[in-house]
Amino acid sequence: MSYKQAVHILIFTSLLLMLAACNTSNNNSSVIENMNDTGTENENEVKEEAVEEEEPEIVKELSLPSDVLQKGDQGQSVDELQNVLIHIGYEITDSSLYDNETVWAITDFQLQTENLLATGLYDEETRLELETVLDNEISLTPGVGLAFVEEEQIDEDTKTISNPYDVLALINKQHALPADYEPIDLVVPDVRFPFVEDLPKKQMRKVAADALEKMFGDADLESLDLFAQSGFRSYERQDVLFAAYVSNHGEEQANTFSAKPGESEHQSGLTMDVTSPQVNYALVTEFGETEEGIWLQENAHKYGFIIRYPEGKEDITGYQYEPWHLRYVGIKAATEIMERGITLEEYLEEKLNK
């Protein structure tokens, strides 16, 4: 081989090596680029998956129910009402049951609102006021009208009622009104009384007095002679009366027809004893057999009243049959109680412990 040929071979070999090196470099660059692209794609996929896994926050749409609601009611309408109450600051449980917490929240709101009667019932007037608070984002401080407290045990058998404004409050030998409770909305209903003196027992809470006036008016149209005999009675007055009955009959017997102080529905302002000339304006069981007594048994519920101590239920109510003793609970509850022939005790037990 000549010197010139050897030089040519050496040059050619060098060129081949250079070309091989360039291809290797390009291949490595492509691999790196592919790795980078793959990493970016994987990273984007992870990010997209993370975004997909994030659940959007569920915001409940607030709306006020149009139904009239009360203690013991259940369902979507109650749930809607509770969501609104929670939204405006009430720390209550969203249970879909119109329980004692909900009754308290509604009562507190009513006490803080000038144009509302404090009843614990969710009615059209309360709905309109709540709507105003929502629409205008009005600030409200829960508990200003009525502080939330648990029922306090007085003795082994009796608790103090925590919300005496509640028109469905159960007042009996196991549940007593606070000694210092006196309704703030007492009025004298425009009905007949068999006496002319201006006595406290003429008074009732306004929601009950309005209903009593309507009932007496309709009874008049039926040519009936109803008379109101005894409404509101203070804790102190009940104490005096019960002591007198105990003196004459002994405590056990006295407690079958008269309540201990705090345990009388008369203190609530939601009760009126009624009578008629047919029984000489007395409060006697014979009143139940008069035209007026029979009419009340058939119609009192239409105005929101029940005969609180019905015949045959003495073991449940703890008191003797009193056809003259009317208690206001609202039309909805009164209708079910009277039509089913049950007591307030039985009604609330069923509603709150389903």
Catalytic residue among 45, 322, 346, 349: 322
Q: Are 225 and 197 in contact (CB under 8 A)?
A: no
Residue with the bigger pLDDT between 1 and 274: it is 274
pLDDT band for position 52 (50/70/90)?
Answer: low
Residue 22 lies in a domain: no
Amino acid identity for residue 164 in this structure: P
Q: Say if residue 345's pLDDT is above 90.
A: yes
Question: How many structural domains compose the chain?
Answer: 2
pLDDT at residue number 232: 99
Rounded to the nearest integer, the mean pLDDT of the chain is 89
Residue with the bigger pLDDT between 109 and 19: it is 109
Q: Say if residue 269's pLDDT is above 80.
A: yes
Query: Are 72 and 214 part of one and the same domain?
Result: no
pLDDT band for position 156 (50/70/90)?
Answer: confident
Report the pLDDT averaged over residues 226-248. Answer: 97
Report the pLDDT averaged over residues 173-179. Answer: 97
Rounded Cα–Cα distance for residues 135 and 266 (Å): 40
Q: Say if residue 22's pLDDT is above 60.
A: no
Query: Are 114 and 222 part of one and the same domain?
Result: no
- SS3 of 323, please? strand
Residue 29's φ and ψ, nearest 5 degrees, are -65, -40
Query: Are 73 and 186 part of one and the same domain?
Result: no
What's the CATH number where 186 sits? 3.30.1380.10
Query: Are 185 and 264 part of one and the same domain?
Result: yes
Query: Are 246 and 138 part of one and the same domain?
Result: no
Q: Say if residue 197's pLDDT is above 80.
A: yes
Contacts within 8 Å (CB) and 24+ apart, 258-262: 259/173, 259/319, 260/173, 260/176, 261/179, 261/235, 261/236, 262/154, 262/160, 262/176, 262/177, 262/178, 262/179, 262/235, 262/238
Q: Say if residue 134's pLDDT is above 80.
A: yes
Report the pLDDT averaged over residues 248-277. Answer: 96
Q: Say if residue 3's pLDDT is above 90.
A: no
Burial, 177: exposed, middle or buried (Cβ in 10 Å; 0-12, 13-18, 19+)? buried
What digits encode the pLDDT tens for the residues 137-149? 998 999 999 999 9
Report the pLDDT averaged over residues 95-100. Answer: 96
Name the token pair of 297.
């048994």
What's the CATH number where 99 sits? 1.10.101.10
pLDDT at residue number 258: 94
Its domain, for residue 241, covers 179-352
129 tagged catalytic: no
